Amino acid sequence: MADSTQILSGDAAVALAAKTCGVTLGVGYPGTPSTEILETLASIGGNAEWAPNEKVALEVASGVSLGNGRALVTMKHVGLNVAADPLFTLTYMGVNGGLVIVSADDPGMASSQNEQDNRNYAKFAQMPMLEPADSQEAYDLTVKAFEISESFHVPVLLRMTTRVCHSMGIVKSGALQAFTPAPYVADAKSKVMIPANARRAHVRLVHVMQDLAKWNDANALHTVFNPASEKAELGVITSGICVMHTREAAPSLPVLQLKMTWPLPMDAIRKFADSCKRVIVVEEGSRFLEENLKAAGIPVEGKEEVFEYGELSVGRVKKLLAHDSSPMEAGAPGRPPALCPGCPHRKTFELLHELNLIVMGDIGCYTLGVLPPFQAMDASECMGASIGLGLGLRRSLGDTPEARRVVSVIGDSTFLHSGLTGIVDLVYNKPATGHVVLLLDNGTTAMTGLQEHAATGFRLDRSPVKPIDLEAVCKSMGVDNVDVIDPVADHDEYSALLQKRLASDDSTVIIVRRPCLMQMKKLAKMARASEVK
Ligand SMILES: Cc1ncc(C[n+]2csc(CCOP(=O)(O)OP(=O)(O)O)c2C)c(N)n1
């Protein structure tokens, strides 16, 4: 592949850069706005696979790196919570082959349950972080991230946000790098994290981060727009998509763009701050830059509380620069999301509503069961939580008729992601009144755009594979009753079965199986396309 110029989304640019670097494996779990990275990598001939969850994805990537291969790990922001356990020790172990973790954050919660700011993970887990502002930078900084990872033997966080992931821009790419992993060499002293080794590894990591801070200052991973010839009245320090917003909101202001936002290039920042009478930090989400600059004694101004919530825009940045916290003019109201017409989940939520049950929900299309006309969900926390929530609520309610109204509802992809251990608890610590889990098996990961998973029978590249048998898994764990039902064809039986199981003291999983209509449509389209070929 020679140099080329294309119009790409930030996600596609990351995929192209990974391909350019000869990445051995791209691995992750779907999640908006990161999903397209691995889909694109597979489509341009890279090796990409869906892991069952983000923790496994990072562990697989760690193994690739241990074998001197290069690994790209992709996930949405909340995925990094799931992967946090391996992450915090991987930074101690260090990496052999380059390892880049993409965290796609969702300020404003376009499609997420929270808007946590994952820049804080870079500081907390001690790893360098790069933040692209557009598709070209997404490409360039991915290549740079692999270089940094291999030079300093650390995983690198590439922190993106929705607008950078999904906006299109011109990307000039370089020639494909030839990359062959070096032979594996065992090094238990730095890779087996018993306390004696981990103590040493912690010191190494702190020193590597100090070296990286110096490297960041020396290697100019920052740009000054409109540098002040004499002391400017006002300057801005910013990163990521806020660079674009700021340059449009205030085209003539001096702006320091930081591309590597951890560890920070304090000398460069001090120099910039000295060139301005006042400096404002423009950042979405938490006060990551503001707090760290103030802690370093750099006198910067922060933002009003209102700018801690949601995405920034050109209009909001204008207000932020003016310390104006008055509300923005309200835009046209958005159309609320809804389950598709013909969605098989509809039958379940009609039934849950009709039976007036207490529903512990999970994350997927079916979370929309909380909205009218169903209004049949009482709680939803994070992926896989429906089962634990249900078990805990039954504990609180004791042996009462109310406890028998509690059901947990979880989708097939979410079940494999983090519902399995909930089933272990259902069997191990079964409440006095038993419990009922509805496993909504629509044969896909619908919410994030119809991705395959381990029970669909196909891998990310649509090559066939033996599917996980959900029924056999639940039976082998010792669940008392494992039922399978079609919510549309067997609607009346579904109601009778659910009521019967709720009345018993058994542990029950009802696999509610009917394919997602959108997935059927996608498969039909793919079949037609392959006929045309
Ligand atoms: C930790 C984490 N990873 C990824 C996501 C993104 N995400 C939201 S729902 C979902 C899975 C939905 O699939 P499934 O449970 O099968 O339900 P469906 O949408 O198909 O009804 C994913 C991957 C998330 N919210 N949290």
Which amino acid does the sequence have at 94?
G
Phi, psi (degrees; rounded to nearest 5) at 76: -85, 170
Could you tell which of 413, 415, 520 is best to mutate to test the pocket of ligand 1, judged by most ligand atoms within 8 Å of the CB? Answer: 413
User: What whole-number distance in Å separates Cα of residue 468 and Cα of residue 112?
Assistant: 27
* Domain 222-321 -> CATH class: alpha beta
Nearest atom in ligand 1 to the alpha carbon of residue 418 is: 1
Domains 4-218 and 222-321 share a fold: yes
> Which residues pair with residue 182 across a beta bridge?
none
**Of 119, 89, 99, the residue nearest 107 (C-alpha):** 119
Nearest atom in ligand 1 to the alpha carbon of residue 441 is: 16
Nearest atom in ligand 1 to the alpha carbon of residue 415 is: 15
Query: How would DSSP label each residue in 182-224?
Result: PPP---HHHHS--HHHHHHHHHHHHHHHHHHHHHHHHTT-EEE
CA angle 304, 308, 310 (to 5 degrees): 130
- What are the pLDDT digits (tens) for 38-82? 999 999 999 999 999 999 999 999 999 999 999 999 999 999 999
**Sign of the dihedral defined by the CA atoms of residues 142, 143, 146, 149, in that order:** negative
User: What whole-number distance in Å separates Cα of residue 244 and Cα of residue 164?
Assistant: 10
- Give residue 451 CA to ligand 1 midpoint distance, Å: 10
Give me the helix-helix angle, 195-218 and 135-152, nearest 10°: 130
> Which residues pair with residue 171 across a beta bridge?
6
Integer CA distances (angstroms), 379 to 80, 357, 359, 403, in order = 22, 12, 7, 15
Write out the two tokens for 420: 């399995």
Q: Which CATH fold would you assign to the domain 4-218? A: Rossmann fold (3.40.50)
Sheet of strand 156-161: strand arrangement: 48-50, 25-28, 71-76, 99-105, 156-161, 129-130, 260-262
For residue 372, the SS3 value is coil
**Of 463, 458, 423, 426, the residue nearest 443 (C-alpha):** 458
Exposure string for 144-177, b = 16+ CB within 10 A, e = fewer: bbbebbbebbbbbbbbbbbbbbbbebebebbeee
Which residue's alpha carbon is at the smallest distance from atom 12 of ligand 1? 364
* Domain 345-523 -> CATH class: alpha beta
Phi, psi (degrees; rounded to nearest 5) at 276: -130, 150
Nearest atom in ligand 1 to the alpha carbon of residue 53 is: 3
User: What whole-number distance in Å separates Cα of residue 240 and Cα of residue 133?
Assistant: 4
Interstrand relation of 222-225 and 481-485 (parallel, antiparallel or unpaired): unpaired
Q: Which helix (H) or strand (E) holds 101?
A: strand 99-105
- What are the pLDDT digits (tens) for 519-531? 888 888 888 877 7
User: What whole-number distance in Å separates Cα of residue 396 and Cα of residue 380?
Assistant: 17
According to the model, what pLDDT value does residue 532 have? Answer: 66
Could you tell which of 36, 439, 445 is best to mutate to test the pocket of ligand 1, judged by most ligand atoms within 8 Å of the CB? Answer: 445
Q: Is the peptide bond before 373 cis (omega within 30 degrees of 0)?
A: yes
For residue 72, give the DSSP letter.
E
Residue 419 CB–ligand 1 contact under 6 Å: no
- Give residue 36 CA to ligand 1 midpoint distance, Å: 15
Residue 364 CB–ligand 1 contact under 6 Å: yes
Indicate the domain borders of the chain.
Answer: 4-218, 222-321, 345-523
- Give residue 513 CA to ligand 1 midpoint distance, Å: 17
Which residue's alpha carbon is at the smallest distance from atom 6 of ligand 1? 31
Residue 262 CB–ligand 1 contact under 6 Å: no
- Give residue 414 CA to ligand 1 midpoint distance, Å: 6
- Give residue 231 CA to ligand 1 midpoint distance, Å: 51
- Give residue 78 CA to ligand 1 midpoint distance, Å: 11
Give me the helix-helix angle, 195-218 and 266-274, nearest 10°: 40
For residue 360, the SS3 value is strand
Residue 446 CB–ligand 1 contact under 6 Å: yes
Whether pTM > 0.85 for this model: the answer is yes
According to the model, what pLDDT value does residue 527 have? Answer: 80
Phi, psi (degrees; rounded to nearest 5) at 476: -65, -25
According to the model, what pLDDT value does residue 430 have? Answer: 98
The residues, any chain, with a CB within 8 Å of residue 268's CB and separated by 6 or more, are 217, 220, 222, 256
For residue 70, the SS3 value is coil
Q: Are 492 and 419 in contact (CB under 8 A)?
A: no
User: What whole-number distance in Å separates Cα of residue 289 and Cα of residue 269?
Assistant: 11
Residue 453 CB–ligand 1 contact under 6 Å: no
Residue 443 CB–ligand 1 contact under 6 Å: no
Could you tell which of 76, 101, 439 is best to mutate to test the pocket of ligand 1, judged by most ligand atoms within 8 Å of the CB? Answer: 76
> Which residues pair with residue 143 across a beta bridge?
none
- Give residue 363 CA to ligand 1 midpoint distance, Å: 5
For residue 233, the SS3 value is strand
Write out the two tokens for 2: 């020679």
Nearest atom in ligand 1 to the alpha carbon of residue 442 is: 20
**Of 445, 422, 411, the residue nearest 513 (C-alpha):** 411
Which residue's alpha carbon is at the smallest distance from atom 16 of ligand 1? 413
Exposure string for 277-296, b = 16+ CB within 10 A, e = fewer: eebbbbbbbbbbbbebbeee
Beta strands in 241-314 (DSSP E): 255-258, 260-262, 276-282
User: What whole-number distance in Å separates Cα of residue 288 and Cα of residue 258?
Assistant: 13
Integer CA distances (angstroms), 30 to 36, 47, 103, 246, in order = 8, 16, 12, 31
Per-residue pLDDT of the chain (533 residues; tens, 9 = 90+): 567 999 999 999 999 999 999 999 999 999 999 999 999 999 999 999 999 999 999 999 999 999 999 999 999 999 999 999 999 999 999 999 999 999 999 999 998 999 999 999 999 999 999 999 999 999 999 999 999 999 999 999 999 999 999 999 999 999 999 999 999 999 999 999 999 999 999 999 999 999 999 999 998 899 999 998 889 999 999 999 999 999 999 999 999 999 999 999 999 999 999 999 999 999 999 999 999 999 999 999 999 999 999 999 999 999 999 999 998 888 888 888 899 999 999 999 999 999 999 999 999 999 999 999 999 999 999 999 999 999 999 999 999 999 999 999 999 999 999 999 999 999 999 999 999 999 999 999 999 999 999 999 999 999 999 999 999 999 999 999 999 999 999 999 999 999 999 999 999 999 999 999 998 888 888 888 777 65
Query: Could you give the residue ranges of the DSSP H alpha helices within 44-170?
Result: 54-66, 77-82, 84-93, 119-125, 135-152, 162-166
Residue 348 CB–ligand 1 contact under 6 Å: no
According to the model, what pLDDT value does residue 174 have? Answer: 95
Which residue's alpha carbon is at the smallest distance from atom 2 of ligand 1? 79
